[in-house]
Amino acid sequence: MLRPFVLHRPRTAEEACALLARLGEDAAPYAGGTELLLLMKLGLLRPRHLVDVKRVAGFDDIADGVRLSIGAGVTHRTVERSAAVQARCPLMASVARHVGNVRVRNVGTVGGNLAFADPHSDLATLFLALDASVELVSPRGRRELTLAEFVRGPWETARAADELLTSVRLTPWPASTAAAFVKFGVHERPTLGIAVALRLDGSGTGRARVVDARIAIGCVNPCPARAPGAEARLSGVALAELEDVAGEAAALAAASADTADDLYGSADYKREMVAVFVRRALRAAAARARGVAPVAGFPHTIVA
């Protein structure tokens, strides 16, 4: 049951931040409400004021410049359908297409997803792999943080109470990048999400080599984490040999995972799953680099 609250509908970020600063602990930013209203109904959060950010100017913009900038108020559905996102970062559009269900995608926002910092966020895992950063605004001005700086732990971010997330920004990797996001789940939220991006040199499919690799592991760690040992192992590997090295890199990624027992499974199970799914994600990325559609036939698995 929802307790009564006052809904504020500011038109500018400055107005919204001033409200948050003035109302302090009694207020919370409110976007799609898919997380916030659930917690309020359960009585786990009891803000007496909600500051609706959906009408804040610029929050629903997607800006396509040197960097691609996605406003905090942009819904997953808009990301999925955006021509700019599809052209500059197709993996982002594809990941958005598989967030939750269509009801969540229609109202849930990119900013709400990241600010909530659920360890099961697909977006945080994807953006970590893509070296994205977030912009925050407060009465003290604007600042930009990398995803790793912003997400500090389960449901914990570097955001101050009077700060709003305005956008997430990234420089799309070159077209020669091979990328994949593989997620597995039997519950409402994913059990595991793996993002892989491999920057290949331009010497053609047959002779291409990995010049830079990113692997981010989501869901099983306290917050999404890169796998630097596995990334280093992939550097310099020829695309034609990726299949041989994928198992070794996956084992390194699994060894780096900080897993714990919970309702999604035991720590050991999750570590094993990381090994299996990093291998699958690398295979999917390698298949794409060769112009082949990746295999997506595993139960409860999505290859984005």
Ligand X SMILES: Cc1cc2nc3c(=O)[nH]c(=O)nc-3n(C[C@H](O)[C@H](O)[C@H](O)COP(=O)(O)OP(=O)(O)OC[C@H]3O[C@@H](n4cnc5c(N)ncnc54)[C@H](O)[C@@H]3O)c2cc1C
Residue type, 91: L
50 with 6: CB under 8 angstroms? yes
Distance in angstroms (rounded) separating the CA atoms of residues 200 and 33: 40
- Out of 17, 19, 23, 28, the residue judged to bind ligand X by CB under 6 A: 28
Which parts of 179-238 interact with ligand X (CB under 6 A)?
188-190
Closest distance of CB 123 from ligand X, Å = 5
Dist. CA 76–CA 181, nearest whole Å: 16
Q: Is the Cβ of residue 130 or residue 246 nearer to ligand X in the bound state?
A: 130
Closer residue to ligand X (CB): 161 or 255? 161
Check binding of 247 to ligand X (CB under 6 A).
no
Determine which residue in the list 53, 200, 251, 275 makes contact with ligand X, applying CB under 6 A: 53
Are the beta carbons of 49 and 19 closer than 8 angstroms?
Answer: yes
Of 188, 178, 117, nearest in space to 148 by CA: 117
The only residue of 10, 19, 23, 34 in contact with ligand X, by rule CB under 6 A: 34
The mark string for 77-116 relative to ligand X (x by CB under 6 A, - otherwise) is ----------------------xx---x--xxx-xxx-xx
Q: Are strands 6-8 and 49-52 parallel, antiparallel or unpaired?
A: parallel
Q: How far is the CB of 233 from ligand X (least distance, A)?
A: 28
Nearer to ligand X, 109 or 177 (CB): 109
Q: How far is the CB of 79 from ligand X (least distance, A)?
A: 10
User: Per rule CB under 6 A, is residue 33 in the interface with ligand X?
Assistant: yes
Total residues binding ligand X (CB under 6 A): 31
> Is 162 an interacting residue with respect to ligand X (CB under 6 A)?
no
Residue 206 contacts residue 240 (beta carbons within 8 Å): yes
Considering the complex, state which of residue 47 and residue 172 has its C-beta at the smaller distance from ligand X.
47
Going edge to edge, which strands form the sheet with 49-52?
A: 6-8, 49-52, 27-30
Told to check if 19 binds ligand X by CB under 6 A, we report no
The whole-angstrom separation of Cα 127 and Cα 133 is 8
- What's the CA angle centered on 80, arms 133 and 146, to 5 degrees? 5
Q: Which is nearer to ligand X, 116 or 269 (CB)?
A: 116
- Nearer to ligand X among residue 95 and residue 249 (C-beta): 95
Instruction: Say if CB 133 and CB 151 are below 8 A apart.
Output: no
Contacts of 303 (CB under 8 A, 6+ apart): 180, 181, 182, 280, 284, 294, 295, 296
For residues 115 to 134, the per-residue mask of contacts with ligand X, x marking binding by CB under 6 A and - elsewhere, is xx----xxx-----------
Q: Which residues bind ligand X (CB under 6 A)?
A: 28-36, 53, 72, 99-100, 104, 107-109, 111-113, 115-116, 121-123, 159, 164-165, 188-190
